[in-house]
Structure 1
Amino acid sequence: MAQVLVAAAFVPSAPVLVPELSGPGVAEILPIRDAAHAVCDQLAAQASRWVVVGIGDPAVPVAARGTFVGFGAGLEVEIDPQTPGDPDPSMPTSVLLAGWLVGAVDPRPQLTVTLVDAQTSAADSAELGRVLGAALASTDEPVGLLVVADGATTLGPKAPGGEQAGAAALQTVIDNALGSADLAALAALDEQACTALGVSGRAVWQLVAGAVAGAGVDRAALDGRLLVAAAPFGVGYVVARWDVRC
């Protein structure tokens, strides 16, 4: 059977990427925004079916449409264009960002969403990932993962969590792990340290590492590439891609 999980794209869960929220020409944001669009275009060239993985309440169904009205703009996004309904103003930020990015992709991929609570343990995140990976392996259709999550929020004096010792070192570990597809390094991210330093994406990345294993992808078959690692507002934003060699 052909390899099902063919690639993963990693982007920030950052509303500031959206021009309607931050303005079209914010110099610190442009490289991150451009890289996020580019990595989604690359993912679309490999798979027409995507699983969005992000932070949110897995017990709450994801609406077909969302809106950034909670961030000050009436911009709407679609997760499932075929399903009618009003836009959900409380859609998780990770899903909103996914919908916004996918709206610029042509042809548009089909989306499903997997959410994980930010405080889910490393072991449980990995197990959730293995279940997802096994489900993906049950079909012959190529699938890509769009992984939407943020790093430390404590990387500078103007950061949401202020500047904290150890944040830069931890963010470097995250940047390197995502850029090199280092599953072991992601699995080893410390839960307490990530919570203390505002790394909300830890459970997401550990779920994805589990999904790779659950889909039967050998680590040696993964090629990782880091496109951007930056912290323009004291928050760790990473854009990266993983490709699975057949």
Structure 2
Amino acid sequence: MLVAAAVCPCPPLLVPEVAAGAAPELDAARAACTDALGVLAASRPDRLVVVGPAHSAGPETYPRGAHGSFRGFGVDLEVYLGADSGDADGTELPYGLAVGAWLLGRTGWAGFPVDGIGVGDELSAERCAGLGREIAARAGRTALLVLGDASACRTLKAPGYLDERAAPFDAEVGRALAAADPAALAALDVALARELKVSGRAPWQVLAGAAQGTDLAGALLYEDAPYGVGYAVAAWS
């Protein structure tokens, strides 16, 4: 049963060591992520499932203790999913789940039952929803940490350049997250999300499936588009 969810962006710049001199620019986003994870802790879950973007369609699963690194961004920093050190063999965490592991590490989730799932932008909305239902059907109280960014096309200097469809798309995502509206998340246009370079579409639609039939209230804790990329933080409980 899904009892709570936190939605956070996952740019590597969220990690201060990666952002370096620009780190203060995302202080508000980091603080909101901490608050969202506090909502998860308050729900007293039996387990936490971290869902984030992956390079392949997936789903790809990662056990507690799976390893992630930010060396690709010029920083010698290692993280472990829900653990202080690695105790799991396997593929390295994709960057989104590595950011999730970093968020968990700074908010005291080491030792808690955690596993990760990576989903890519080629995974259909139907398959994402089905995966979410499978997660919610697990025995006990389940919480989700859902990672992903909105459009990367909000300004001329954005990674995807300016696209006038980006702001309305992000506004609909923000509205759905604020209202804890799984139907609205499930209805997001897969093709448009891909064109707008939205990394969060598939993870959000996993959340939509997991939240079907629940009675959760939502709160949008942060919404902005620094660097021309939409970031949103929300908590459902």
Q: Deviations over 1:190-224 (max 9, x none)?
A: 111111111121111111111122xxx43xx1100
Matched, 1:50 2:48: yes
| Residue identity matched to 1:53 | V
Report the equivalent of 1:239.
Answer: 233
Matched, 1:102 2:104: yes
Structure 2 residue runs of 5 or longer lacking an equivalent are none
SS of match in other structure, 2:219: strand
Report the equivalent of 2:18.
Answer: 21
Distance between the aligned counterparts of 1:20 and 1:32, measured in 2?
15
SS of match in other structure, 1:103: helix
Which of residues 127, 130, 135 is equivalent to 1:127? 130
Structure 1 residue runs of 5 or longer lacking an equivalent are none
Give the TM-score of the pair, scaled to structure 2. Answer: 0.89
Instruction: Determine if contact 1:76/1:87 at 8 Å carries over to the other structure.
Output: no
Which of residues 212, 223, 237 is equivalent to 2:217? 223
In structure 2, the CA distance between the partners of 1:26 and 1:238, relative to structure 1 (3 Å rule), is same
SS of match in other structure, 2:107: coil
Matched-pair identity in %: 39
SS of match in other structure, 2:217: strand
| Residue identity matched to 1:176 | R
Distance between the aligned counterparts of 1:59 and 1:126, measured in 2?
12
Report the equivalent of 2:79.
Answer: 77
Instruction: Determine if contact 2:61/2:117 at 8 Å carries over to the other structure.
Output: no
Distance between the aligned counterparts of 1:25 and 1:34, measured in 2?
16
In structure 2, the CA distance between the partners of 1:61 and 1:122, relative to structure 1 (3 Å rule), is closer
Distance between the aligned counterparts of 1:181 and 1:83, measured in 2?
34
C-alpha displacement of 1:60: 5.0
SS of match in other structure, 1:164: coil
SS of match in other structure, 1:23: helix
Matched, 1:116 2:96: no
SS of match in other structure, 1:36: helix
In structure 2, the CA distance between the partners of 1:193 and 1:102, relative to structure 1 (3 Å rule), is same
| Residue identity matched to 1:112 | D
Report the equivalent of 1:169.
Answer: 168
In structure 2, the CA distance between the partners of 1:210 and 1:23, relative to structure 1 (3 Å rule), is same
Distance between the aligned counterparts of 1:225 and 1:113, measured in 2?
24
Number of residue-to-residue matches in the alignment: 230
| Residue identity matched to 1:12 | P
C-alpha displacement of 1:44: 1.9
Instruction: Determine if contact 1:118/1:204 at 8 Å carries over to the other structure.
Output: no
Instruction: Determine if contact 1:66/1:87 at 8 Å carries over to the other structure.
Output: no
C-alpha displacement of 1:147: 0.4
C-alpha displacement of 1:80: 5.1
Instruction: Determine if contact 2:4/2:39 at 8 Å carries over to the other structure.
Output: no
SS of match in other structure, 2:151: coil
